[in-house]
């Protein structure tokens, strides 16, 4: 077994798990009618970004020995790398603007910006799906869970409009 690859994949798994947990908190609030889960959204998002950063760092520094040329050679051969890069680039502004200063400074635009998390989670799931060669059950499970979480939000949104 390759310990660098194991570390790399484990960090990616945890980044995706924290993203999914962060997205699950609003549906948990909706179902339980309790506000406390929302207190943990920011923490889950920042943990996801932290693990995603380590995931990228391990890939670039340990896997590719810091070679930009090796990275550029890999991208055309492996579309999942491009999607992973997109995911990471989407997470950067979310992490930077997660502090209260930016929430206040950006106002309504902050909420619009932070909707990028949906695109980021979907692209993270695609990154995982395209990476896996044989058993796609795990990435499909994440995608199914994402579908359920988004469905709960959509149903709740329509209920609130009708009320």
Distance, CA of 21 to CA of 40 (rounded, Å): 9
- pLDDT for 95 equals 98
Q: Which residues of 35-46 are buried (b: 16+ CB within 10 A; e: fewer)?
A: eebeeebeebbb
Distance, CA of 17 to CA of 32 (rounded, Å): 21
Distance, CA of 7 to CA of 119 (rounded, Å): 25
- pLDDT for 139 equals 97
Rounded mean pLDDT for each run of 10 residues along the chain, 163 residues in total: 94 98 97 96 98 98 94 92 97 96 94 96 98 94 97 92 71
**Residue 108 buriedness (CB in 10 A; 0-12 / 13-18 / 19+):** exposed
- pLDDT for 163 equals 60
Stated pTM of the model: 0.93
Distance, CA of 44 to CA of 18 (rounded, Å): 5
**Residue 51 buriedness (CB in 10 A; 0-12 / 13-18 / 19+):** buried
**Nearest residue to 45 via CA among 8, 85, 84, 97:** 97
């Amino acid at each position: 077994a390759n310990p660098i690859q194991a570390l790399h994949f484990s960090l990616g798994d945890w980044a995706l798990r924290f993203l999914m947990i962060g997205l699950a908190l609003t549906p948990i609030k909706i179902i339980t009618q309790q506000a406390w889960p929302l207190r943990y959204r920011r923490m889950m998002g920042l943990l996801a970004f932290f693990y995603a950063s380590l995931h990228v760092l391990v890939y670039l520094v340990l896997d590719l020995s810091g070679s930009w040329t090796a990275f550029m050679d890999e991208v055309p051969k492996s579309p999942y790398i491009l999607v992973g890069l997109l995911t990471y680039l989407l997470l950067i502004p979310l992490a930077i603007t997660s502090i209260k200063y930016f929430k206040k400074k950006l106002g309504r635009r902050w909420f619009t910006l932070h909707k990028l998390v949906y695109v980021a989670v979907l692209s993270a799931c695609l990154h995982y799906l395209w990476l896996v060669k044989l058993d796609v059950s795990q990435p499909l499970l994440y995608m199914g869970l994402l579908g359920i979480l988004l469905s709960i939000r959509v149903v709740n949104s329509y209920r609130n409009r009708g009320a």
